[in-house]
Amino acid sequence: MRVHERLDELYAIGGRVGADRVAGTEGEDRAHGLAAGWMREAGLEVEVDEAGNLIGRSSEPSVWTGSHLDSVPFGGKFDGALGVVAAIEAVERVGKGAVAVFRDEERGCVGSSAFVARGALPECFLEVHIEQGPVLERAGAPLGLAMGIVGIVRGERTFEGHVGHAGTVPMLGRLDALVAAAVYILQVRDIATAVDGAVATVGVVDVEPGAVNVIPGRVRVSVDARAPDRERLDRLVAELGLRADFRLEPVPMAEEPIGALRAELQERGLPIVELPSGAGHDAATLAGAGVPTAMLFVRSLNGGISHSPQEESSAEDVELAVDVLAGALARLT
């Protein structure tokens, strides 16, 4: 199936281990060039907007589908790319719809945010994406319906201490900023565990002065906090004592496009697994702007690992997702 060939072609960009399409680099540009060629082969009218987003339109473009082609460094084959190649394939089959390839999703949905700011919004949007988690694999289900996309808040906490010599300052009376940060990191875990459906992660710890024989005097830690709805997100952020540097509100998916996807799953006798999306997606940007939106998740293998060369989904699940997407597009158009 050419979907798999195209995924391989995108994955080969850069010639390194893992995906090599970080936003703003030649890799992302080359990927957009490939997708533009595939759109033209599918008979779509191709354009690039002011933000660099790639758009391919059929003669009846009311229902849109797509994703992104940028990757994290050393990323996986399927993240973003699957949603693009599946969209081009499905729109070509149906002969209706439009495909959007958004720029710079990984650093905060930059391209899709610029797209919705223009105001010319589609009547409906569908995004196919790998789950990036273990739920579908554990359930034995090839596909799932995302019922909503979590809200995300990112910020930093800073801890001050006193710099000192690691050998001459007694333990009693030290003001070690890293010890204070370590206590907080454990609190982050416990606070998130106590809020149903929430997660929180400390991913960066910056220690100053950062020498092996010096007591840390200042430590900054990053916090990424996520929850399924605004009430739980607000509670999580308040209990973490976090001042937001970045905030993306949680959004539900819309019943009409979800219903079209659900009908296609039922027609094929597939289990209906509903789950939240714990990751941010371009679909959240469109849904937040009022576009009726739905997401179809494809089972992630290898325990749901993603953002890694070990990211994997089966050829059978991918082909099934394209079939379901095409059927849903036909229903919605």
Say if residue 6 is in the same domain as residue 103.
yes
Q: Would you call 180 exposed, middle or buried from its count of C-beta atoms within 10 A (0-12, 13-18, 19+)?
A: middle
CA angle 126, 121, 260 (to 5 degrees): 25
Count of beta carbons in the 10 Å neighbourhood of residue 60: 12
Could you report the per-residue pLDDT of 158-206, keeping only the tens digit for each?
999 999 999 999 999 999 999 999 999 999 999 999 999 999 999 999 9
Say if residue 123 is in the same domain as residue 80.
yes
Mean pLDDT of 230-241: 97
Say if residue 202 is in the same domain as residue 268.
no
- pLDDT band for position 322 (cuts 50, 70, 90): very high
The residue whose two tokens read 């325990």 is: 303
Whether 63 has a pLDDT exceeding 90, the answer reads yes
From 218, 247, 276, the end of a domain falls on 247
Query: The CATH number of the domain where 43 resides is what?
Result: 3.40.630.10
Mean pLDDT of 277-286: 92
Say if residue 15 is in the same domain as residue 50.
yes
pLDDT of 120 reads: 83
pLDDT of 1 reads: 78
Mean pLDDT of 79-95: 98
pLDDT of 119 reads: 86
Query: pTM, whole model, 2 decimals?
Result: 0.87
Say if residue 48 is in the same domain as residue 144.
yes
Alpha-carbon distance 111 to 28, whole Å? 12
pLDDT of 15 reads: 82
CA angle 330, 332, 333 (to 5 degrees): 65
Q: State the chain's mean pLDDT as an integer.
A: 96
Say if residue 143 is in the same domain as residue 274.
yes
From 247, 271, 295, the end of a domain falls on 247
Say if residue 160 is in the same domain as residue 216.
yes
Say if residue 232 is in the same domain as residue 182.
yes
**Which domain range does residue 171 map to?**
151-247
Q: Domain total for the chain?
A: 2
